[in-house]
Structure 1
């Protein structure tokens, strides 16, 4: 074997090894991305857990959905703001492609449904002059509507 042939063989072996290395790296990156997404979703679930008091009141049989009560105190409205703010952040993350919209919709769209079913919140936060403060929440509701992830249409008055 000549020196030229040995160099060509070494080059071929080097290209094959580099190709295998690239394939392995791509598999590891994809695997790590899935793990990171799973960890992020678990963390997001924990963040929603912090808003359980509002979430429970907004559920179909909850105090704020039965029709006899609405958020009324300053603390109630502050808790609603914080809950809606977390949902707005999810919309921003979806726009930045940091959160998968389909996964978010399957796990959390019902929470937006529950908020939209509460007339005092819709009237107090999402229609009229107040809606400018909740633009990302409204974008989230429209995104979920367009994905057919909501069980109801958007209430009238939401721009």
Structure 2
């Protein structure tokens, strides 16, 4: 009986160690991705938060400054400054919403954001090659895991907003 308990304890310890390695890897991934984003931003003269704003606009499409600020967790005045710089640099354009003329939408300028897409092309190609080694079920598991990590981080971030 003690060998079963010992085996169970060993499995439990190994599981905790694996979970710790996963959480440490998530934290390291965050650091490495931030450094990558900073270095890419240096190539085009943008700060990290400006790169993140463009990334959101490139993936999600045009949105109001308020919606973008909420998505990035930015104060409206800070968001205005960021958008002013991006507009001055030709990265974004402010356009009236055709469905509601009172709303101004922030639209990424395709020609300019193409510079950023080209910066990350190598990384994207390597990522696709890496993911090609997983079967469909494994890819579903990876997607589920990463989606849950994003949801947990988003939830933790908004919890701070509610406490403030």
Interval of TM-score (by shorter of Structure 1 and Structure 2): 0.3 to 0.5
Q: Which has the higher contact order (CA 8 A, sep 6+)?
A: 1
* Structure whose residues are more often strand by fraction: 2
TM-score with structure 2 setting the length: 0.39
TM-score with structure 1 setting the length: 0.40
Mark the structure with the bigger radius of gyration: 1
